[in-house]
Structures are given as structure tokens and as C-alpha cells.
Structure 1
């Protein structure tokens, strides 16, 4: 906006900070502490990210990061910026939530972030049913990595996360709450005839084959690694890593490898009889849960959505609904074959 003399006034320091993408880029970089990973998540090039960080450093007048070898660390100014930025974002998110709390439970948008390694069919079916009863509620589903989910929760881009807990990667649980959907077993998946008929298997017995699993940093990869450390067993060699459970499953069926996948995923497969499964001894368990900022529960449409999903599982629980989905797949496949 120009002043009375027709001269555009110079932007203030605050305007320079908040008018650019530098702040959100800075937050993402603090999550990964790796320029390459942060740029990939943001969908930009590494030079573009570096330029934005340098721009922010010029505005505040101090370096925000420094390197020790190949490791990136926050400077004292960086810690101050991170703390202040989180406080500002918290106030903005709280204001947005308070505004939304005055809206109707039957109108508006709900953004769900689902961990990409989770079998999502039950949630997809629920959203279809929910839309039929609530046509003025727009539900958007985003399949995200663990880091992307956390960043989206922090920036208020999603209302509800569907993810596995406990999650040690989340450092600050204070502003958040969770609602458990079900308790999940992690199953050993294999095609080793020597282990056929075994319902429980110790990790120490699985040193004869390589594994196929998720990339380092993915939740289930960390769960498996932690289990090996707890049992004081050497971590196995990995033949391949994939980001999707279907990719892992496909690789395992074609090779002499082991893997571990959630019981819910195995139950969702119409070809689940073609592989062998077993529980680990001791069992490896975790919870599938909704995670959200505590204020979200006060938004009428969010509260209604959570309540309706609970009612949905009271009618038929999560695993029974997975059985229904598989039965429908098999029936459709038979019909296609007969036709």
C-alpha cells in the first residue's frame, strides 16, 4: 500500500519475516536437520531452501545453523527463533481453532493425515458412509510420512492424524491428545518351511535370512530395530527397503526373506493364505490412534467425526470390517472370473 506521497513504505522486519516462506522452511529444516531431506519434504530444490534460510538469517542478523562435520546444528539464535516461532504458530493455531469452534458441526472441512504405512481401507469406507450422512462436510485424506504428519499437525494443515503410538520421535506431547482406535500386533511374515506351524518365534531364531523392511526413520523400522536392541540380538542384514507395505509384501513373496508387518495389513490381503505368519516372542504391540491438538476436540465437526467413528467400530470392530473388505474383494474377483 502506498502512502499519501505515492511511495510504498519499506517493509518492517516483522513483515519481511512473515511475508515469505522462510519461516515454514526454517521449521521444516529444524525437524530434519538435513537440507536434502527438508527440501524433499517441502517439494523444492536444496538451493532454493538454502536461499530462503540465508534470507531469514539476513533479516534477523545472525546465523541460525552451523555445521559440525556433516551434522547440522541450531545456533543460539536458531534456538531463540525456533522457540519464538513455535509460540507464534501456537497462538495462530489457537485463534484459528477458537474461530472454528463457533461453526456448525454439519458444515466445513476436516483434514485427515494418515501414516502411509497404515492400511487405510476401513477409514476410506467410513468416510464414504460419513459423507452420505453429512454431505456438507468435506473430508480430505492425506497419506503422509511420520515427519510430514508431525509438520502438518504443527502447522495446522491437518486436524487429525491417524498414526501409531507410542512415538518417541515426537518430542513435545504437551499440546496434543490421542484417542486409541485399536491395539495392533506386529507379525513376522515369512515363507520358511522350517518355521511352519510356529505361532511364536524369537528374534534370535531369525538370523538365517535377510530382511525386507521400511526405510530408516520409518516408524515400523524403528520398532523392529528397538526390539532387536531390547533382545540384545544383532540387527539382521537388509535386502531391500520400501515405503509401502504392499511393496514389502510383494518382495517377500518372491524372495527368501523375512519381514514384519501389522496384523491389520495382513488381514486386508485376499492372498494372505499364501504366506506364513507368527507372533514375535515376546509380542511386539503398539496402538493405532487419532492424534490431535487438544483444542481440536472443541470444534463441533471434529468432535462429531471422532464420535461417529467410535460408533462405526462399535457396530463392527476394526478387524471384522477388514474381513468384510477382503470377503468383498474375493467375491468381486470370483464374479469377474465367472463373467
Structure 2
């Protein structure tokens, strides 16, 4: 097989990018549904074809070589082009066939989406759907490069200049209006009441990482008080909402979640739900490129979702 065919095989590049996502051969192979030796062999074939290693190893940890970084950039662009071409072709096919790629922000509660997808799949079994979870930066990158069709994420209710990009290039379908909910151990706090920032200063928290939207909302409200002696103390962070809440309940730390998550899991949560005065409201919304609704399967998906929500 010619070297270029080995490198440009969509399957090979898909395997390569999946390994980058996990930096673990075992986990990547499990996600891909193949054996670890098969994945290792595929990567070695690409390395042999280009004549240089794509991955290095430091201890037990993998890292990308410079050649690997260059191939990653090319692979993403190439697969984006392939997906775009396939998408363009499928625009002329029926609304009940094809593939839909959905990206979901890591911290977004996607239970409603999962329930809908079960119903949608039963009604349209010939439409395949792939759901992947990303941080905000990677989610927008995949949306910008047409690697996903729809992105589910938090969107502030008040539109600022920095969000003009959403209005100009994308359309939005609001799924549910949401707000920041604090889960506290404070026995004097009243359920559902909104409190000022001063109520929560000096407490210890378990939160999402700094680049997560809900953490940014909380820290944005603290403002100048953030770096004071009584500011935010965060001994633990988690990307998983389930682990966040479980840890808060096992410790004396407070935490924050979306109200939609709390409403779906309130029977499992023992902490007191309260709100923070003056925090910006937001929605969980689908964002997609303008023109995506011209694709029959995407239009059909959005119509069915709207009917499901109503």
C-alpha cells in the first residue's frame, strides 16, 4: 500500500486522533471497539509510513512528538473536509437517513438529551448519532471546523459583543433556561432563597475546574473578594457533576451545579439548594451553523426535539 494511502486512510486518522484524546492505548482501543494490539499496529504503520515517531513516552505517560502535532493538525482538517463533503452529499438524501455528530460541553447535564435520543432512535433507526463530550475550547473548535453538527452548551441570557460570533455565524435553539444553584451545608440557609456573596465567603468548596462555565460564573460574582483571606478556598475539583455532588456530601465543602441538574437529581441530594444574588442567568442551548437546518436529517432532528420538549 502506498505511504500516502496509509496516512490518509480515514480509519487510521480516526484511530490516531482517538489515541490523542485519551493518551492511553487501552482506553482508546476500548472506545474504538478494537484490541490494543490492533491499535498499536495501526499507529506503528503510520509511523513507519512517515518515517518518524508520532508519540513519545515519559515514564508511563504518552506525549505527542512534533511530527505527531503536525499530523494532528492535518488529520483534523482532512477529516473535517471529509465530513463536510459527506454532509453536503447527504443534504440531498432523505430526512430519515444519515449521520449526526453532537458535541456536549462536559459540565452540561445531558439527561434530557439522552432520553430524547432513545425516542428518536426508535423512530428513526437509520440515522446514526454520535455524542462526544468536550471542554468549551475543543467544543467550539469542532463546531467551527464542521467536525460536529450540533453543540450543546451553556449560553448567557444577555448577549454581549463577544458573543456576536454566535449571532453572525450560528443559530441557537434553547433547550431549557437554567441558573447557578449552590448546594450548601449551612443549616441556617433556606431552600430556594437567594443570598449575597458575603454569605459564602470563607467557606471551602469542591468545584469544576477554573475553565468551566459554572466556576467562572461563581468567581465572576466574587470579583475583588476572590483573592482576599476569606475568598474562595477550593481543595478539590472534578469535571464530573456526579463526583462533584458526591464529594460535597461526603465532606463539609459546598458546591455549585446547574439548577436543571439539581431538579433531576434532588431526591439523591441531601445538601440545601440556594441561589446567589445577581448571578447572570443562562440557558442550555443547541448551537449550530447557519444553513444546517437545510440538511433534511438535521432539520428533522430539531423538529422532533422541539416536539419532545414541548
Q: Normalising by structure 1, what TM-score?
A: 0.62
Write out aligned runs for 1:216-227 (5 A).
216=209, 219-220=212-213, 222-223=215-216, 226-227=219-220
Query: 1:69-218, aligned counterparts within 5 Å?
Result: 75=66, 81-115=71-105, 117-127=107-117, 129-130=119-120, 134-138=123-127, 140=129, 142=131, 144-146=133-135, 159-165=149-155, 177-181=170-174, 182-196=176-190, 198-202=193-197, 205-214=199-208, 216=209
Does 2:199 match 1:233?
no
Task: Kindly report the root-mean-square deviation, in angstroms, between the aligned alpha carbons of the 2 structures.
Answer: 4.8
Asked whether 1:308 is paired with 2:301, we answer no
> Shift of the alpha carbon at 1:195?
3.9
Q: Is the 8 A contact 1:97 1:295 kept in 2?
A: no
Q: Which shows bigger deviation, 284-293 or 123-132?
A: 123-132
CA apart distance, 1:266: 1.5
C-alpha spacing 1:21/1:114, structure 2 compared with 1 (3 Å): same
1:279 counterpart = 2:275? yes
What is the aligned counterpart of 2:295 among 295, 299, 310?
Answer: 299
2:248 aligned partner:
252
Partner of 2:162: none
Tell me the CA shift for residue 225 of structure 1: 7.0
1:283–1:231 distance in 2 versus 1, CA, 3 Å: farther
CA 1:112–1:259: 2 relative to 1, 3 Å? same
Given that 1:97 and 1:296 are in contact with CA atoms closer than 8 Å, whether structure 2 keeps it comes out as no
Query: Could you tell me how far apart the structure 2 residues matched to 1:194 and 1:224 are?
Result: 24
Q: Distance in 2 between matches of 1:213 and 1:130?
A: 34
Q: Which structure 2 segments of 5+ residues have no match?
A: 157-164
Whether contact under 8 Å (1:178, 1:289) holds in the other structure is no
| CA apart distance, 1:294 | 5.0
Q: How many residue pairs get matched?
A: 290
| Deviation at residue 143 of structure 1 after TM alignment | 6.1
Distance in 1, matches of 2:253 and 2:94, equals 52
Secondary structure of residue in 2 paired with 1:268: helix
Structure ID, larger Rg:
1
Q: Secondary structure at the match of 2:265?
A: coil
Residues 184, 273 of structure 2: 8 Å contact kept: yes
> In the alignment, is the contact (CA less than 8 A) between 2:80 and 2:146 conserved in 1?
no
Alignment of 1:42-53 (within 5 A): none
Write the distance in 1 (CA, Å) between the matches of 2:219 and 2:293: 33
Tell me how far 1:226 sits from its aligned partner: 5.0
Alpha-carbon distance change, 109 to 35 in structure 1, aligned in 2, over 3 angstroms: closer
Distance 1:52 1:150 in 2: 29
Deviation at 1:306, TM superposition (A): 0.9
2:262 corresponds to which of 256, 266, 270? 266
Post-superposition CA distance 1:105-137 (Å, at most 9, x none): 1344545444454333433443455456x3455
Supply the distance in 1 between the matched residues of 2:36 and 2:125 (Cα, whole angstroms). 40
> How far off is 1:28 after superposition?
5.8
Q: Distance in 2 between matches of 1:151 and 1:24?
A: 17
Give the whole-Å Cα distance in 2 for the aligned partners of 1:173 and 1:12: 43
8 Å contact from structure 1 (residues 89, 155) kept in 2: no
What do residues 163-208 of structure 1 show as CA deviations (whole Å, max 9, x unaligned)?
3347xxxxx9899735242442112111203444751331x54243
Distance 1:109 1:80, change over 3 A: closer
* SS of residue in 2 equivalent to 1:256: coil
Which structure is richer in relative contact order (CA contacts within 8 A, separation 6 or more)? 2
